Amino acid sequence: MKFIKTHISLIFPLIAILLGLEFFIVFDRTTNNYEKSLQNGYSMMVVAKDEMSIDDFKAWDKHIEQVIELEKKSILKRLEMDKNAQNKKKFEASLPNFYSLKLDSYLSVSALEKVKSNLKKSDNILNIESFQSAYQSEYELFSFIKLSFSTFIIFMSIIGFFLIVKQMEVWNFLHAQRMKVMEIFGASLFLRSKVLISMALIDAVISALITSVLFYLIQNIWVANSQMQILKENVSEVFAFSDIFILLFAAIVVVMVSIYIVIINVKEE
Amino acid sequence: MSNIITATNLTLSYDKEDEVIKDANFSIKKGDFVFITGPSGSGKSTLLKSFYGSLAVDKGSLVVGGLDMVDIKKEKLQELRTHLGIVFQDYRLINEWTVEKNVVLPLWIAGYSEEVQRTQSERLLHHVKLSGKEKKYPLELSGGEQQRVGVARALAKNPFLILADEPTGNLDDYSSNVIWDLMENACHQLDTTVVVVTHRIPMVFNIPYRHFTIDEQGSVYEVH
């Protein structure tokens, strides 16, 4: 019972920190994909008097990544104009050029507005449709989800941090006497902290494994059965085998830094 | 005979301003048994602490076991301490370790094999009359027994110097006599130098000894 109590008191805060870290990794991976899909699904419509190349557009704004010219015939077809062939040709010749522009990233609403205003500076461009209201609601929802997750991750990490600080005080209370005695008898820093280091390393491994198993279960049970499209599309991003090593490394760094702080604060009497 | 401790114009203080020991000059030779006495707060324990490097030398010089204690490197100090036996008034045993593990602490630090540690532990515990208490924990023993464990620990690695700070301060007469006997034997039979800080020198002491005293001004004198 004492063994479990001793270990749980470190494992619990470590798991809180590792959960925060893994959530951050998963969230980063998932939102990157989602952001990419939002970016790919968005295009800006531009109407220009004369033909324009991608370089012409880029000269006005560096965020333009791809330009697709819309064929006039297909526009005419959509208009379903009841005209004879000669009139149709004349009308086609008088039509301006239509372009669909893809951007290099998922821009904020203000940055999108800036792109629009930059393009408007061109005398050749007659009209721009940025579908701003749809874009804005999608972007704000995305930003809200991102902010909520970030807050949750920061909150988890803060709780973990404070629990680790508490654990350091406990360590100091439990191990200081032994370390002081050993120092008086000439034990090296490593020897003095060997017990603490081995205990903390075991806890770091256990914490990393528990967190990994949790995320593995989330990936294979919860996400797999989820109705949320974004999660289902990104199920492979929820947990990767390499995450075990990232978590283990992070756990070891946290415990070693904590131990080091405890050790340097143990002063010989 | 070679000097084990040599102090020349030694000054010690805790905050550089309030000097506890002033301009002390003395030397302690191999095999000496030395008592250091003086009123409370005169700096007896402070002087002893400087012998094992727990307190830095402020002014003057102090040589212990051939090592200059002024600006001594950490590694050298650790090395020196593995050759010292230190006994405290409050025992300073590791309470979560068994008696036998406490006794062989200096051997464990020096990396001796478990076999050597076990043999030494048996011998030392027999020597301090604690055979059969190997698996006990310090808090299960009386004060006198705990101090005997402390002395056994101090003797574990055959140190060239034993430093004892009020080793009988918390003990009854019987336990005190046992501790003095152990110290006498270490000095007499093993030719170990022993320095003991105490309030009062025991009435019965069977070997020759030297007596230093510290007055309230922090001056160290040898009493003849």
Lowest mean pLDDT among A240-244, B6-10, B91-95, B97-101: A240-244
pLDDT attached to residue A78: 66
Q: What end-to-end distance do the CA atoms of chain B give, in Å?
A: 20
pLDDT band for position A83 (cuts 50, 70, 90): low
Highest mean pLDDT among A62-71, B15-24, B29-38: B29-38
User: Is residue A76 predicted with pLDDT exceeding 70?
Assistant: no
Domain with CATH 3.30.70 in chain A: 43-130
Hey, are the CB atoms on B93 and A181 less than 8 Å from each other? Answer: yes
Interface test with chain B among A181, A183, A199, by most B beta carbons within 10 Å: A181
pLDDT attached to residue B154: 94
User: Is residue A230 predicted with pLDDT exceeding 80?
Assistant: no
Hey, are the CB atoms on A186 and B96 less than 8 Å from each other? Answer: no
Which tens digits make up the pLDDT trace of B48-100?
999 999 999 999 999 999 999 998 999 999 999 999 999 999 999 999 999 99
Question: Which residue in chain A has the smallest CA separation from B157?
Answer: A185
User: Is residue B4 predicted with pLDDT exceeding 80?
Assistant: yes
User: Is residue A122 predicted with pLDDT exceeding 60?
Assistant: yes
User: Is residue A72 predicted with pLDDT exceeding 90?
Assistant: no
Q: In angstroms, what separates the C-alpha of B203 from chain A's closest C-alpha?
A: 31
Counting residues of chain A whose pLDDT is more than 90, the rounded percentage is 15
User: Is residue B205 predicted with pLDDT exceeding 90?
Assistant: no
Helix (H) or strand (E) holding B83: none
In this complex, is the C-beta atom of A194 within 8 Å of any C-beta atom belonging to chain B?
no
Give CA torsion, residues B160, A180, B50, B203, to 10 deg.
-60
Share the mean pLDDT of chain B: 91
In this complex, is the C-beta atom of B158 within 8 Å of any C-beta atom belonging to chain A?
no
pLDDT attached to residue A231: 67
Average pLDDT rounded to a whole number, residues A145-157: 85
pLDDT band for position B140 (cuts 50, 70, 90): very high
- CA distance linking residue B5 with residue B162, whole number of Å: 12
Q: Which of residues 43-72 of B touch A (CB under 8 A)?
A: 52, 54
Q: Name chain B contacts of A186, Cβ cutoff 8 Å.
A: 77-82, 84, 106, 109
Lowest mean pLDDT among B22-26, B95-99, B166-170, B194-198: B166-170
pLDDT attached to residue A80: 62
Lowest mean pLDDT among A163-167, A220-224, B129-133: A220-224
pLDDT band for position A79 (cuts 50, 70, 90): low
User: Is residue A211 predicted with pLDDT exceeding 80?
Assistant: yes
Nearest CB to A268; choose among B54, B80, B82: B54
Hey, are the CB atoms on B81 and A184 less than 8 Å from each other? Answer: yes
Interface test with chain A among B78, B103, B158, by most A beta carbons within 10 Å: B78
Hey, are the CB atoms on B80 and A268 less than 8 Å from each other? Answer: no
User: Is residue B221 predicted with pLDDT exceeding 60?
Assistant: yes
pLDDT attached to residue B70: 93
Hey, are the CB atoms on A184 and B54 less than 8 Å from each other? Answer: yes
pLDDT attached to residue B41: 86
pLDDT band for position B27 (cuts 50, 70, 90): very high
Q: Name chain B contacts of A191, Cβ cutoff 8 Å.
A: 109
Fold classified for A43-130: Alpha-Beta Plaits (3.30.70)
pLDDT attached to residue A55: 86
In this complex, is the C-beta atom of B93 within 8 Å of any C-beta atom belonging to chain A?
yes
Antiparallel, parallel or unpaired: β A97-103 and A44-48: antiparallel
Residue B122 or residue A146, greater confidence: B122
Q: In angstroms, what separates the C-alpha of B89 from chain A's closest C-alpha?
A: 13
Contact call for residues A236 and A142 (beta carbons, < 8 A): no
Hey, are the CB atoms on A180 and B81 less than 8 Å from each other? Answer: no
Q: Which amino acid is at A120?
A: K
Which tens digits make up the pLDDT trace of A31-56?
777 777 778 778 888 888 888 888 88
Q: Which CATH number is B1-83+160-224's, of 3.40.50.300, 3.30.1330.50, 2.10.109.10, 3.30.497.10? A: 3.40.50.300
Nearest CB to B94; choose among A177, A186, A188: A177
Q: What is the DSSP string of chain A?
A: -HHHHHHHHHHHHHHHHHHHHHHHHHHHHHHHHHHHHHHHH--EEEEESS---HHHHHHH-TTEEEEEEEPHHHHHHHHT----HHHHHHHHHHS-EEEEEEESS---HHHHHHHHHHHHT-TTEEEEE--HHHHHHHHHHHHHHHHHHHHHHHHHHHHHHHHHHHHHHHHHHHHHHHHHHHHHTT--HHHHHHHHHHHHHHHHHHHHHHHHHHHHHIIIIIITT---HHHHHTHHHH--THHHHHHHHHHHHHHHHHHHHHHHH----
Hey, are the CB atoms on A181 and B80 less than 8 Å from each other? Answer: no
Hey, are the CB atoms on B80 and A180 less than 8 Å from each other? Answer: no
pLDDT attached to residue B143: 92
Lowest mean pLDDT among A109-118, A147-156, A159-168, A228-237: A228-237
ipTM for the predicted complex: 0.89
User: Is residue A241 predicted with pLDDT exceeding 90?
Assistant: no
Share the mean pLDDT of chain A: 83
Lowest mean pLDDT among A71-80, A124-133, A192-201, B145-154: A71-80
